[in-house]
Amino acid sequence: MNHQEPDFNVERLGECRFPSPMRGVRFTTDGERILYHSRYQEMRPFIDSGREPPSMEMGGPRERIFFDPSTIACGIVTCGGLCPGTNDVIRALTLSLYHHYGVRRVYGFRYGFEGVVKRHGHSPLLLTPEVVDRIGELGGTILASSRGPQAPSEMVDYLEELGIAILFTIGGDGTLKGAAKIAEEAARRGRPISVIGIPKTIDNDVSFLQNTFGFETAVDEAHRAIYAAHTEATGARNGIGLVKLMGRDSGFIAAYSTLVNSQVNFCLVPEVPFTLAGFLKSLEERLALRGHAVIAVAEGAGQELLPAATESDASGNVKLGDIGTFLRDAINGHFRAIGTEITLKYIDPSYIIRSQPANSHDSAFCLLLGHNAVHAGMCGRTCMVVGNWNQQFTHVPIRLATHQRKKIDPKGRLWSSVLASTGQSREID
């Protein structure tokens, strides 16, 4: 192999000296691992040379654990934007800590990392089975969120004061980078604090993870918007339905929503640049041929057509230009200029999608992520996220998960299927 294989080694706090209080479960042994490569061609060099192929540690309850659960407190924090299923994860973590391990002090930090800094004065919420009873039915996060950095030293001060042994961070790449800094600071002080991330990114853009929670619900809801756009478009002469979807750097929501019922005629994603002239020409042809058109555009698509972004939010994320309204105005202007009457309906369902409760499949996924996160923390893993790979739950080091974003490969099978579904040309240029 001429490129370096990823290092899947997960940090451990120390030896697992306590027997797990869990009964009647199928324990995972430390030797159980999931192969990283599943394609024969990728495995062949390892088979030929007898080298160990790269593999990921498997999630699940261990027979022996690092912490004595009867003595510890645990914390949960949610950061960044809203994502369906966040409350399900909070519920699963709480119930697993409570019922599987007998932990009685589970603190829910309020307002993201701000709540992990004592001087901000947001008292943590004591989470019990009663408190989390029906939260899975609610969208958003009962703990609320915030953006903006906090000092790791101040956060670890408060974790130590509260006796937190395991901190669960539910958030995106920013949160995971923050989580890694907390783990580093705890290690520097020689404090055995486990930091376990549950990746929350509606865009499903985390490397080394096949799925993240909320994505399926997002595609469900996005399709409702596309259905509306299609209905509007077919209800008018030269009707155009334009839907802006989430996807800052990776267009997975737009791509999968395009595959639902194949109602989308143009799918525009950040990974595949296009020119305005090429797109408008294709749109003209489509209207001439079929009399209506549906466009799904990811928020990060076509940024090169807009003035360069200069603003950032409190966490340092660059504020994107609004490709949705830009395309709306450009399409209207173009057809006005060539004297063709169109009816364009623009739909931006982003906040509606983000605030949905999880659908059933996502909810079950959240429960399993939560359980696996608790098992990982209990056996002293740290600075890792719970992932899934080839239908199994895995432990992935934070440094790998945040190394680079997962993106659609414009030469890959997903994009090829999108093109086969829309009929749009490979390059709209």
Smaller CB separation from ligand ATP, 57 or 173: 173
List the structure tokens of 344. Answer: 């364009």
- CA distance between the termini of the chain: 36
Select the span of 34-42, 77-85, 100-108, 366-374 touching ligand ATP (CB under 6 A): 77-85
Q: Are 239 and 341 spatial neighbours (Cβ–Cβ below 8 Å)? A: no
Smaller CB separation from Mg ion, 213 or 415: 213
Q: Look up residue 78 and give its DSSP letter.
A: E
Active site residue 409: no
Given Mg ion, ligand ATP, none, residue 175, with its beta carbon under 5 to 8 Å by kind, binds ligand ATP
Given ligand ATP, Mg ion, none, residue 250, with its beta carbon under 5 to 8 Å by kind, binds none
Q: What secondary structure, in 3-state letters, does 216-283 show? A: HHHHHHHHHHHHHHHHHHHCCCCEEEEEEECCCCCCHHHHHHHHCCCCCCEEECCCCCCCHHHHHHHH
353 is in an annotated binding site: yes
- Contact set with Mg ion (CB under 5 A): 172, 174, 317
Report which secondary-structure segment, H or E, holds 386.
strand 384-389
Smaller CB separation from ligand ATP, 57 or 114: 114
Which listed residue (172, 247, 321, 380) binds ligand ATP by CB under 6 A? 172
Strand duo 164-171 + 194-199: pairing:
parallel
Smaller CB separation from ligand ATP, 151 or 288: 151
Which listed residue (37, 104, 177, 399) binds ligand ATP by CB under 6 A? 177
Given ligand ATP, Mg ion, none, residue 79, with its beta carbon under 5 to 8 Å by kind, binds ligand ATP
Q: Are 282 and 227 spatial neighbours (Cβ–Cβ below 8 Å)? A: no
Of 249, 250, 248, 243, the closest CA to residue 222 belongs to 243
CB of 272: closest distance to ligand ATP in angstroms?
Answer: 22
Choosing from 7, 68, 133, 203, which is the catalytic residue? 203
User: Binding residues for ligand ATP, per CB under 6 A?
Assistant: 79-81, 112-113, 147-149, 171-175, 177-178, 181, 201, 315, 317
